[in-house]
Amino acid sequence: MKSIYQNIITSISKSEKLLAVLIDPDKMKLKTVSSFISKVNQSFATHIFVGGSEVDRGVTETLVLEIKKHAKLPIILFPGDVIQITDKANGVLFLSLISGRNPEYLIGKHVEAVSNLKNSNLEIIPTGYLLIENGKQTSVERVSQTKPIKRNNIKTIVDTAKAGELLGMQLIYLEAGSGATHVIDPKIISKVKEDLNIPLIVGGGIRSKLQLELAYKAGADLVVIGTAFEEDEDFFDQIKKKINE
């Protein structure tokens, strides 16, 4: 498979909308993968992310292998822990939780992951990960033992994202969290995008085509949706065609 990151850059240069469907190994049953991926293939989704905050050892690899039987899209790991890394996927977001101050999620887990990554064929994409307050505690907050950045503290959000870029991150990911009460405010997306020279990913709580459109309009290069599809696969019917078509 060609470079995932380079393809993202190329798509952005053509003003194409990118959409990742997030599949949580802890919630997706193997017997439903075929029908689920069939709907993914019929939508305008461009990537499949696989990962969750709390997943048992081996479950991610089993799921990735099943997805590969049916998927046409690149499969990218979105790991909550080192045990979720498998070279059966195409790439991995090498996430650094730069919104928090827990050293385990800034560098500790990365050191643990090296032995699994250095001999793999995974495309490794350094990603600055920012957890933004959404109205309720998220599993990321609980597992990482970090606090999200307050959503009204836009300057800190913007400066943290920019710091990630200056540290060499290739992507910045603004995350409201799974099942967020509040999606990332378009004002936040817009302000962060103004300062960045690298692609911006936005995810968490998006449950409607309007919210998706607003995220793109504000400057999101790639939007991630997970819970909306988990709760209602009919949501795929709303996005069979690209936004604004």
Q: What is the mean pLDDT of residues 111-124?
A: 96
pLDDT over 90 at 242, yes or no: no
pLDDT over 70 at 244, yes or no: no
Write out the two tokens for 40.
């993914």
Dist CA 2 CA 95 (whole Å): 21
User: What are the distances in angstroms from CA 73 to CA 39, 40, 148?
Assistant: 12, 9, 31
Which of the listed CATH numbers 3.30.70.100, 3.20.20.390, 3.40.50.150, 3.40.50.300 matches domain 4-10+17-238? 3.20.20.390
Radius of gyration of the chain from its Cα atoms, rounded to whole angstroms = 16
Give the sign of the dihedral formed by CA 229, CA 233, CA 234, CA 237: positive
Q: Which helix (H) or strand (E) holds 200?
A: strand 200-203
Q: For the whole prediction, is pTM greater than 0.85?
A: yes
Q: What is the mean pLDDT of residues 95-111?
A: 97
pLDDT over 60 at 245, yes or no: no
List of residues 6+ apart from 218 with CB closer than 8 A: 186, 187, 189, 190, 193
| For the chain, domain boundaries | 4-10+17-238
User: What are the distances in angstroms from CA 116 to CA 36, 51, 59, 90, 119?
Assistant: 29, 16, 16, 14, 7
Per-residue pLDDT at 156: 98
Kindly state the percentage of the chain with pLDDT values over 70.
97
Least confident among 35-39, 80-84, 134-138, 202-206: 134-138
Dist CA 38 CA 128 (whole Å): 31
Per-residue pLDDT at 231: 82
DSSP-assigned letter for residue 104: I
Contact 240, 36 (CB under 8 A): no
pLDDT over 80 at 241, yes or no: no
Give the sign of the dihedral formed by CA 194, CA 53, CA 233, CA 19: positive
Contact 140, 131 (CB under 8 A): yes
Per-residue pLDDT at 180: 85
Contact 92, 124 (CB under 8 A): yes
205: left (phi over 0), alpha (psi -120 to 50) or beta: left
Q: Which of 5, 50, 36 is nearest to 198 (CA)?
A: 5
3-state DSSP call for residue 18?
A: strand
